[in-house]
């Protein structure tokens, strides 16, 4: 009898232990918590507070929390776009024999889209997981499903209304002349009365962007690849590929095309045309227009080549006199050392594969560059002439300003006439044509107004622009001799109007120099004398008085 009781007790204890083990397996819990953005996750405490409440709930219910899955993306749309939810579903799929309870804080954290709400519910049922919400009792009865659907639809409505209000406020902000998105490179947001959050210069990035844009507009950088190399050479500029220090061409092109650097805001996506912004411009609208024209047009000067280095600074700029193709360069291995040569690589050319030593060709170029340096006396005369021309140009400002005001009035009148026609137009094609014409006139008006505002630069501005230019004209050889590759390329573009031609027998041919150096050369070669008192015309004796052109 005792033996039978012992067997029964042992069997009962074994059954209880098995049920306890099963109950222990059933009470394993997973926590899912979510906020709508990364900013909320970093600056707020939404994820921590949700996790804390869910852990308290699990402790009360006797659940063992096995893992936590956070998300910092919006709850609208497909739940498979949420990394945390994808990880949670993958975790359930990896443990099909374990029954989990998934805990979340609020029904809005689960989903804010009615369609995807029920898709997600069926997904959890597939994995055999039970879901429990702290703020809502889930019930699989018809009444419970109806209430759950209403709450999910209410969350979707709230999400869509918030999105609509955000778009409306953002559009209104842009229409008033404020940028409302992420600050572009070179700017940062600061609170400025009475504007609120306003874009301001972010140094040193603002100066880097300004130098690049003005350099591309003026021809200092002849191709977008050169602007890209300039950005890569600046340690402070954010790199797209940090380990290699590279900047993607997409970022360079976006900066060159972005109208915000000219002080204007626009949003083609929302059909908001360009308008004057309240932030400080890095460049003028005219400079921006010049940049767009250069992007649309062909590059006439040899662009930056990746294989141009300090070993061969004239590579790509010296052309063969026989075929006109740019010379290439390289090192040739001798018995004891390497030798540097320039040579033509066009088949069929008389100079094909015939080399010119690097020292000889670059020596001829350096001699040519030194001869362009004016004397001190000539330099002072040229400086006085440029200053006098500046003063004469300043005297014409009043007349030019009046003409520009008339142009602005004419453009405004044309725009008003087109707006009147647009109001009564009912054909979509005609409406589109009017809108494009009005936008074009608005851009032309903005350029004209900017010209009028910048018509009379101060004497300080003249000195700031004049001194660096005259320093370069005084001694271009000094910049070349610095050895800096960027400065050397700059010397080539500012000094010579086209590629230099090289003949193997006679050397470098006569160079076509730029206008400033032509002006200095004409002053140097001309022989100036005072007009004599009698004038330059022959005397006329048949008249009472002698006459001349004096």
**Nearest one of 498, 490, 508, 400 to 452, comparing CA atoms:** 400
CA distance 178 to 169: 11
Q: Which range (52-56, 97-101, 218-222, 483-487) has the least confidence? A: 483-487
Report cis status (omega within 30 of 0) of the bond before 472: no
Report cis status (omega within 30 of 0) of the bond before 177: no
Per residue in 321-356, pLDDT tens? 888 888 888 888 877 888 888 888 888 888 888 888
pLDDT over 90 (residue 187): yes
Top-confidence residue, 448 or 468: 448
Q: Please report where in the chains the tokens 């990880």 appear, as a residue.
A: 87
Give the predicted TM-score (pTM) of the model: 0.54
Q: 521 falls in which pLDDT band (50, 70, 90)?
A: low
Percent of the chain with pLDDT over 70: 74
Query: What is the average pLDDT score of the chain?
Result: 76
Q: What is the mean pLDDT of residues 391-405?
A: 68
DSSP letters along 126-173, please? HTT-EEEESSS----SHHHHHHHHHHHHHHHHHHHHHHHHHHHHHHHH
pLDDT over 80 (residue 2): no
**Whole-number pLDDT of residue 516:** 67
> ∠ CA(59), CA(65), CA(69), 5° rounding?
125
CA distance 442 to 408: 10
Per residue in 266-316, pLDDT tens? 888 888 888 888 898 898 888 888 888 888 874 444 444 554 566 788 887
Q: What is the mean pLDDT of residues 534-538?
A: 57
pLDDT over 80 (residue 243): no
CA distance 320 to 223: 23
Phi first, then psi, for residue 544 (nearest 5°) are: -70, -40
Q: What is the mean pLDDT of residues 382-399?
A: 65
CA distance 213 to 283: 7
Please state which CATH number belongs to domain 22-162: 3.40.50.1390
pLDDT over 70 (residue 478): yes
Q: Which CATH class is domain 187-296?
A: alpha beta
Please list the alpha-helical segments (H only) found in 219-375.
224-232, 249-257, 285-296, 358-371
């Amino acid at each position: 009898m005792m033996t039978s009781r012992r067997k029964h007790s042992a069997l009962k204890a074994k059954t209880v232990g098995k049920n306890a083990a099963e109950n222990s397996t059933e009470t394993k819990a997973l926590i899912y918590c979510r906020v709508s953005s990364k900013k909320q996750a970093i600056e707020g405490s939404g994820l921590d507070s949700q996790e804390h409440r869910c852990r308290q709930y699990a402790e009360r219910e006797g659940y063992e929390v096995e893992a936590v899955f956070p998300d910092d993306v919006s709850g609208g749309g497909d739940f498979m776009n949420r990394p945390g939810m994808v990880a949670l579903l993958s975790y359930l799929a990896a443990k099909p024999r374990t029954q989990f309870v998934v805990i979340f804080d609020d029904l809005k954290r689960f989903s804010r889209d009615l369609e995807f709400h029920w898709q997600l519910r069926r997904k959890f049922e597939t994995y055999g997981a039970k879901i429990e919400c702290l703020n809502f009792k889930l019930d699989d009865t018809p009444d419970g499903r109806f209430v759950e659907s209403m709450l999910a639809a209410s969350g979707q409505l709230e999400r869509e209304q918030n999105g609509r209000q955000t778009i409306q406020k953002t559009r209104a902000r842009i229409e008033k002349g404020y940028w409302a998105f992420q600050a572009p490179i070179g700017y940062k947001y600061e609170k400025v009365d009475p504007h609120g959050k306003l874009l301001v210069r972010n140094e040193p990035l603002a100066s880097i962007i300004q130098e690049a844009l003005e350099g591309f507009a003026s021809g200092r950088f002849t191709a977008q690849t050169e602007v890209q190399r300039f950005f890569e050479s600046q340690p402070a500029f954010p790199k797209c590929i940090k380990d290699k220090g590279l900047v993607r061409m997409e970022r360079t092109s976006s900066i060159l095309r972005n109208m915000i650097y000219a002080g204007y805001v626009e949003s083609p996506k929302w059909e908001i045309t360009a308008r004057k912004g309240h932030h400080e411009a890095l460049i003028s609208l005219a400079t921006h227009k010049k940049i767009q024209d250069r992007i649309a047009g062909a590059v006439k000067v040899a662009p930056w080549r990746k294989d141009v280095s300090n070993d061969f600074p004239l590579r790509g700029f010296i052309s063969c006199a026989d075929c006109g193709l740019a010379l290439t360069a390289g090192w040739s291995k001798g018995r004891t050392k390497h030798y540097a040569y320039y040579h033509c690589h066009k088949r069929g050319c008389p100079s094909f594969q015939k080399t010119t030593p690097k020292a000889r060709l670059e020596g001829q170029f350096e001699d040519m560059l030194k001869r362009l340096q004016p004397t001190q006396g000539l330099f002072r005369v040229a400086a006085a002439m440029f200053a006098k021309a500046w003063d004469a140009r300043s005297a014409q400002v009043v007349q030019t300003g009046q003409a520009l005001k008339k142009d602005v009035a004419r453009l405004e009148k044309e725009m008003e006439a087109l707006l009147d026609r647009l109001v009564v137009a009912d054909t979509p094609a005609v409406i589109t044509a009017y809108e494009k014409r009005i936008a074009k006139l608005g851009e032309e008006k903005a350029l004209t107004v900017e010209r009028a505002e910048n018509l009379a630069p101060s004497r300080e501005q003249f000195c700031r622009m004049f001194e660096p230019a005259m320093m370069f004209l005084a001694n271009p050889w000094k910049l070349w001799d610095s050895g800096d590759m960027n400065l050397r390329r700059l010397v080539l573009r500012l000094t010579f109007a086209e590629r230099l031609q090289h003949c193997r027998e006679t050397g470098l041919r006569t160079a076509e120099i730029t206008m400033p150096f032509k002006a200095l050369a004409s002053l140097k070669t001309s022989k100036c004398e005072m007009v004599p008192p009698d004038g330059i015309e022959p005397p006329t004796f048949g008249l009472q008085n002698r006459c001349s052109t004096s």
